Structure 1
Amino acid sequence: MSEEKKMSVTGLTMIVAVNMMGSGIIMLPANMAQVGAISLLSWFITALGSMAIAYGFAQAGVFDRTAGGMPAYTEQSHGRSGSFMVSYLYYISLAIANVAIAIAALGYIAPFFPWLNSTPVITAIGVIVLIWLTTAANFRGPKVTGRIGSFTVWGVIIPVAGLSVIGWFWFNTETFVQAWNPNDLSLMEGLSSSITLTLWAFLGMESAAQSAGAVENPRKNVPLACMLGTAGAAVIYILSTSVIMGIVPNVELANSTSPFALVYTQMFSPVVGSIVMALAALACVGSLLGWQFTISQSGKLAADAGMFPAFLGKVNKVGAPILGMVIIGIVQTLFAFSTMSPNLTEQFNVLVDLSVVTNVIPYIMALTGLMVMMRKDKVSAKVYMRNSIIVCVAVTYSIYALYASGAGAVIGGLIIMMFGYLIYGFMAPRFEVNPQVVKPMNSISKGENL
């Protein structure tokens, strides 16, 4: 690709910001209101941690010669089993995240069809219907999916970004103060209660480095775009969630399934609120459609690389891995039923925590591969030290996010991980093993040292 046709740092920064924002913010004000406005402080910690993670992945993308993403970074430091585990956990984390996105979409659809919220079972069925509709829509290949997703995402971004600017004209200091700490939490309790919610909004930043080959001066511009894009999204996140807590009383916001529609209703009129609600619902469905495609492609790429069973890589005439889509659709259905709750917000929280755990573990494993790649690239001591410090910050933040996810989510993530090791046991024989390093058990005599 010629330099004239390559993407500028401005263009890549916009892509990074838009990719992250998507539907990640759409339910957060209601979830954070349950903790109180004190939860807003976690945005600053998460923004710094996320920028460190984004920078680490940007550097890894520059040094990696295989364009293999997180599994390739991980293999540098943790070998083939680590690479498999990252592929597996990331794959499952996307499935969990898709259920959370479906719940967010249903939260914005339900006011138009109140019976969807009548019982937990009906709500779960509604979520599952959305999952299978968007799965089936991908059977016709990626072309239509890409067009729909690039259009519908603005149904979230425009209202959220708009609120960040114009919402201050309706901001009431007294309303914000009353919402600050309704549960009388300590500072650490307030931060720990919301850190996974804020990190959820930044998940996906690892995809930014995948465009390195199409960018001018990637060693400089990819890390810069990752940092600027993450910072830009952080500013909009912080402003929008702050202003909404100064407009809508905390109790109303905490019980809402469509917080941005609620705030536009109070700012303007029910008609405007309904329009925002419809746009947000459309955006969530579009986002879910796109992520269903992404997860199916992730499974296919892992199958093509020999990491997953071969049947996950089989495609139809238009390149859609239908069998893989059906299987991951079943997995999502199981997650939707197993986390069923009388309250959409509670179910959303459970899924967000579990998604963060299964996403952050691959982050930690992949980021640690950067040190090996820098050694192989013979970078200067200054570059090595700078990047190593940033990786340490990113990993430390990720470990804190694991802790803040709570025992339930960590145990759930551990159980998912153990099933991954079971699956790897069946996959491992296909990988080449050096016979001089590993001997069959029956070839070891009593006189040999084990």
Structure 2
Amino acid sequence: MTNAVPERQLGFAMCVALVVGGMIGSGVFLLPVSLAPLGWNSFYGWLVTIVGTLCLVAVLMRLGKGRAGDCAPYSYPAAAFGAGTGFVVAWSYWISCWVTNATLAIAAVSNLAAVWPALAAPGVPAAVAVALVWLFTLINCRGVRTAGGVQIVTLLLKVVPLVGVILVAVWLFGSGTAAPVAHNSVPVTGAAIGGAATLTLFAMLGFESAMVAGDRAKDPERTVPRAVLTGVLITGILYLLAGSAVTLMLPPETVVTSTSPFATFFGTLVDPALGPLVAIFVAIAALGALNGFILLQAEMPFTLARHGLLPDWTAKLNRRGAPHRIHIVSSTLASIVVLANYSRDLAGLFQFMLLVTTSVTLIFYLACVLAWLKLARFGRIAAPPAMIAVALAALAYALWAFHGAGIEASLWSLAMTGAALPVYLVMRRARRSSPAAADGGDALPG
């Protein structure tokens, strides 16, 4: 097992920025297209998603007591089910990170192309997307402090469209010049609310970002839980108000045909000249999320290597304390995904990859809830009745959301996660047959 230990450089503000920045990407800015036909069901869907996410947050925060300084996707499941399960869950989360990076890079280029049409020329979007992946990889290779600083700056910029929509909506309501126009003919039903909640879950993924980078946080027992709860509440409120304003204050037929609903909102209700400017801010939102997930893409293999579950060379740090080798491998995979699919329709590619990413991330959520329930059952963690009820609600919500992602995306996520098993078995055999293991040194746990 390697003795490399990362320097703790992320404070409370940077951890909050990591949480909010990881959650606010391109998903929320594109969701109104899918939510508009659902009318007021979308508003209630946001409420269900926020409550479900808070249940998951509560479980992960309880599970993280005593483990906040570790990397959550490995250490949380491993505490209950052993190193093998921890490896598989961490592997699946690592996949979700670099697939997300490919998706975010494509989304950023797509929004920028609305301002600079030359970016939409054949082959150009893929090339620019790959360049963006490697630009932020270079930033992260300069250390987590640099990456965290970039995250704070991009966070301040990416919330501008969300806050702007809320302020415009309040002004229009207050002046009596606008009101919700969603068709009253759309009935509010449990099925429609469920469909809206499944869609809105996509935008809430990433709340665990500070937990994933827990071994980089200062005073993690105090910093990480506060940062996660603060970040989720901030993001949830912004989503509920801004997303509902765009969905409900524009005619549904206008929203569903828009390539940039937030730009359409400002262009229709404020000034047409604001459309391109909003598109730039949406691109910044995607780039800020890209920066955060590139930071996370290195944490998974780095943690696994420190626990002896991957070759030691993967945990080597550069002089700035960044696991640069893992960054290179992960960003290469993200680049391959972009280049292999450059000819696809950007919107279709974004939607499918988003579904796959959601399914893979839900494996981590499910594993953590099951881990908490097992530890509670055997008395290894405090389990008051209220917390048991929250955990069961979180389990039901995660299972329901996994089903809602669709069979194709779920099968893809399970297949990619299953690829971790042979890797784990090979590493376990290699460690057991190594001279260090024979001499009683570090052997692979589990």
TM-score bracket, normalised by the shorter chain, equals 0.7 to 0.9
Q: Compared with structure 1, are the counterparts of its residues 203 and 338 closer, same or farther at alpha carbon in structure 2 (3 Å cutoff)? A: same
The residue that corresponds to 2:4 in the other structure is: none
Go from structure 1 to structure 2 and tell me whether the alpha carbon gap of 1:287 and 1:174 turns closer, same or farther (over 3 Å shift): closer
Distance 1:293 1:33, change over 3 A: same
Q: Structure 2 residue aligned with 1:307, among 296, 306, 309? A: 309
Unaligned segments of structure 1, at least 5 residues: 1-6, 434-450
- Superposed CA offset, 1:30-75 (max 9, x none): 3434766634432122111101000001111125486342321211
8 Å CA contact 2:137–2:327 kept in 1: the answer is yes
Q: Confirm or deny that 1:155 pairs with 2:157.
A: yes
Shift of 1:110: 1.0
Decide which of 85, 88, 104 is 1:82's aligned counterpart. 85
TM-score, with length taken from structure 1: 0.80
Amino acid at match of 2:238: I
The residue number in structure 2 matching 1:99 is 102
Question: What is aligned with 1:441?
Answer: none
Aligned match of 1:230: 232
Match in the other structure for 1:393: 393
Counterpart check, 1:418 vs 2:418: yes
Q: Which residue of 2 aligns with 1:124?
A: 126
Give the RMSD, CA atoms, in angstroms. Answer: 3.4
CA contact (8 A) 2:20 2:234 kept: no
Letter in 1 for 2:128: G
* Partner residue in 1 for 2:6: none
Residue in 1 aligned with 2:53?
50
**Kindly tell me: are residues 149 and 174 of structure 1, through their superposed partners in 2, closer, same or farther at Cα, counting changes over 3 Å?**
closer
TM-score normalised by length of structure 2: 0.81
Over the matched positions of the two proteins, sequence identity in percent amounts to 23
Q: 1:59 aligns with which of 58, 62, 67?
A: 62
Aligned residue identity for 1:421:
L
Per the alignment, residue 263 of structure 2 pairs with 261
Q: Which residue of 1 aligns with 2:299?
A: 297
CA distance in 1 between counterparts of 2:230 and 2:68 reads 24
Q: For 1:176, what is the secondary structure of its paired residue?
A: coil
Change over 3 Å in CA distance of 1:170–1:347 after alignment to 2: farther
**Aligned ranges for residues 36-435 of structure 1 at < 5 Å?**
38-64=41-67, 67-119=70-122, 121-170=123-172, 172-173=178-179, 175-177=181-183, 181=186, 187=189, 190-191=192-193, 193-208=195-210, 210=214, 214=219, 226-227=228-229, 229-337=231-339, 342-374=344-376, 383-429=383-429
Q: 1 CA distance for matches of 2:97 and 2:424? A: 19
Give, in whole Å, the separation in 2 of the partners of 1:64 and 1:139. Answer: 26
Structure 1 residue identity aligned to 2:181? T
CA distance in 1, matches of 2:208, 2:147: 21
Hey, what's the Cα distance between the residues in 2 that align with 1:395 and 1:294? 25
Where structure 2 has 5 or more consecutive residues not aligned to the other structure, the ranges are 1-10, 434-446
Deviations 1:291-342 (A, max 9, x none): 2122123322222222233332223222333322221112212333555575
Deviation at 1:164, TM superposition (A): 2.0
- Counterparts of 1:88 and 1:410, CA distance in 2: 16
Q: Where does residue 5 of structure 2 map in the other structure?
A: none
Residue 369 of structure 2 contacts residue 391 of structure 2 at CA under 8 Å; is this kept in 1? yes
Structure 1 residue 271 displacement after superposition: 3.5
Q: Is the Cα contact below 8 Å between 2:71 and 2:300 reproduced in 1?
A: no
1:396 Cα offset (Å): 1.1
Could you tell which deviates more after superposition, 137-146 or 49-58? 137-146
Q: Give the length in aligned residue pairs.
A: 416
